[in-house]
Structure 1
Amino acid sequence: MEVAPADARRLHVDRGGACFGIGDVDHLDAALGVPHTSHRAGAYRRCFERSPVTSWYRLGFVSILTAEQRDSWDRNGYFILERFASPDTCASMLTRAAELCRLDAAGKSIGHSLVDPERNPWADAVNPEDRVSKIFVLHDWDPVFGPFARDERLLEVISDLLGPDVDCFLSQFIFKNPSAIGQPWHQDSLYFPFEPDRQVGVWVAVTDATPVNGPLSVLPGSHREPLHEHVPDRRPDANLGYTEIVDMDFVDAQMVLMNAGDVLVFDSHLMHCSTDNESDGARAAMVYHYAIAGTIDRTYQHLREQSEAMGAMPDDIKESAAAGVEESPYHWMPVWRDGSAVP
């Protein structure tokens, strides 16, 4: 589903069963008790306080999500925004990621990003990007990936789930080149020992995700599970930070096939995995993680208490944890405040 501009979208307001469209402005203004001035969804949303019980905004409740998206989020823990990113955006992301790999291979600066090599490299690799698993931390500095993290259309969706004040704290470009192995079943919340412990992930399909190139699979409804025990992935070619849930039945898992430009929005407790890439092309994706502003990050404390709890970590992270560092290893960037995008 393509996301329309905010002023063209329907805004659903529940007051004893009544539902108004954004075009029904006279009735909507009267129902909400706000001056008849701006009709943008954001202007209405700022009139509400976020309910402590649910992520909807309340007088009744207000959401820019469709009923189908809200139902999927509540029941399954995820939904897909179809054709959200344009072909040009996907092409720019793929080109920029390759450029960063080549700069890094040449010993040139790529800011504070981290290039993680593929442990099971492609036999036909030619260019540096063919040998890379992921590039971490792109959201807070890169001229291509940063603007997407702050895309107002996306942030309106995220803020509907998290509230009026949102930060982006982590990002990673995933190449998933041919022969790359899949990531075992896990919950992203394992890597985010935060308070509160619910975050929202955004998985942008930069290329098509097909049955043979290592797509994601999810376990619908598993977002209602607590954080399960994860054991380190002991495969010799396991990539950085891979862990595995071994105490859950995944018989009801569903494969998530996506076209380039589709965006998967998912709860950090949702159990998901990927399979090996058995194709002759990359299955590229760009992932962003968002949290409520003011979230308390206890990553270093967690690592001091359980050194292998999050799988294999970069040496600098382990050294900082051992040294008693308390500030976050993540890169927290304000993106949404009081119902508006942060420039």
Structure 2
Amino acid sequence: MSKLPATITPEQLQQFDTDGYLIMRGLFSAQDIEALQQEFTMLHRNGPVERLFAPVSKEQAGGDILKEYPRFMHPHRVNELSRNYMIDPRVMDVLEDLFGEEPLAAQSMFYYKPPGARGQALHQDNFYLLIEPGTCIAAWTAVDPSDEENGGLFVVPKTSREAIQCPHEADPTVSFTTHEVVVPEGLQPVPVILEAGDVLFFNGNVIHGSYPNTSADRFRRSFICHYTGVSTTKISGYYNPLYTRDGQPLEIEKNPSGGPCGTEFAANSPH
């Protein structure tokens, strides 16, 4: 018999199991969000970090705003505040209920998504993380209010039990990543409307993505982390080391396969 959740309600756990996602409203305070905003404004101002963050000047960007404001990959590896937010007890407690076991942190990312930025085509996270057994869970923290106009996230409910798809080529005019998957017949993407400080948790097989930021002057900043459970035995090598809730690094076996679609797809991972 599974234990009752300690942080979320049984109804919330049931919703996550059914729809594949759960929104925790106001999980982070206004002060928490302001600290994230200030930190990543400073990090952008300080410029590139080898292999993790490569912003360029407006002149060098050649009209592509995402070259001026690219996503910051794995900031927890070089930034203490990011690492603290990645393993924040409020997030880890929810994850423990969702996994049914102790969670481990595998990845952090920060998206600036300024006005005019392209979106990210529909995809599934465990296509990239290659977690075995089971799948990952994302915690997607809104750093700005996030809606359809400024390129907020869309999810496809009830796709958490869908198999991992082999993607096709995405439209580069609307997506900055190259992979796209097909929405199963009878289902459709729905927008996730979030306020700053809300956190969206979703299963690693859930199909999700975003569209361009069509607002005139609104960024859609977000801090996104991926997690797995302590029973995981394999993960794509790019995500080692994982971190326990007390910040201790932990190496697990590198998954040597390219997943269900072969090594060519895995090598082109946008994550």
User: When the two structures are superposed, what TM-score results if normalisation uses the length of structure 2?
Assistant: 0.80
Q: CA RMSD in A?
A: 3.0
Aligned to 1:29: none
Preserved contact between residue 143 and residue 221 of structure 2 (Cα < 8 Å): yes
The 2-side partners of 1:233 and 1:227 are apart by: 17
Determine which of 105, 108, 123 is the counterpart of 1:171. Answer: 108
> In structure 2, do the counterparts of structure 1 residues 86 and 298 end up closer, same or farther at CA, with 3 Å as the change threshold?
closer
The alpha-carbon deviation at position 159 of structure 1 amounts to 0.9
- The aligned runs of 1:230-269 (5 Å cut-off) are 230-233=167-170, 235=172, 238-239=175-176, 241-246=177-182, 248-249=184-185, 251-269=187-205
The alpha-carbon deviation at position 143 of structure 1 amounts to 2.3
SS of alignment partner, residue 309 of structure 1: helix
The alpha-carbon deviation at position 171 of structure 1 amounts to 0.7
Aligned to 1:144: 81
% identity of equivalent residues: 25
Which has more radius of gyration? 1
SS of alignment partner, residue 72 of structure 2: strand
Aligned to 1:22: none
Preserved contact between residue 233 and residue 311 of structure 1 (Cα < 8 Å): no
Would you say 1:301 and 2:239 are equivalent positions? no
The 1-side partners of 2:12 and 2:200 are apart by: 11
- The aligned runs of 1:1-343 (5 Å cut-off) are 56-57=2-3, 61-105=4-48, 110=49, 114-117=52-55, 131-233=68-170, 235=172, 238-239=175-176, 241-246=177-182, 248-249=184-185, 251-279=187-215, 280-293=217-230, 294-298=232-236, 301-303=256-258, 306-310=262-266, 312-313=268-269
> Which one scores higher on RCO, CA 8 angstroms, separation ≥ 6?
2
Preserved contact between residue 122 and residue 179 of structure 1 (Cα < 8 Å): no
> In structure 2, do the counterparts of structure 1 residues 141 and 164 end up closer, same or farther at CA, with 3 Å as the change threshold?
farther
5+ residue gaps in structure 2? 238-254
The 1-side partners of 2:165 and 2:119 are apart by: 20
Preserved contact between residue 5 and residue 13 of structure 2 (Cα < 8 Å): no
The alpha-carbon deviation at position 234 of structure 1 amounts to 5.3
Preserved contact between residue 232 and residue 308 of structure 1 (Cα < 8 Å): no
Which 10-residue stretch deviates more, 218-227 or 129-138? 129-138
> In structure 2, do the counterparts of structure 1 residues 237 and 150 end up closer, same or farther at CA, with 3 Å as the change threshold?
same
SS of alignment partner, residue 194 of structure 1: coil
**4+ aligned runs moved over 6 Å, structure 1:** none
5+ residue gaps in structure 1? 1-50, 315-329, 331-343
The 2-side partners of 1:171 and 1:161 are apart by: 19
The 2-side partners of 1:311 and 1:216 are apart by: 25
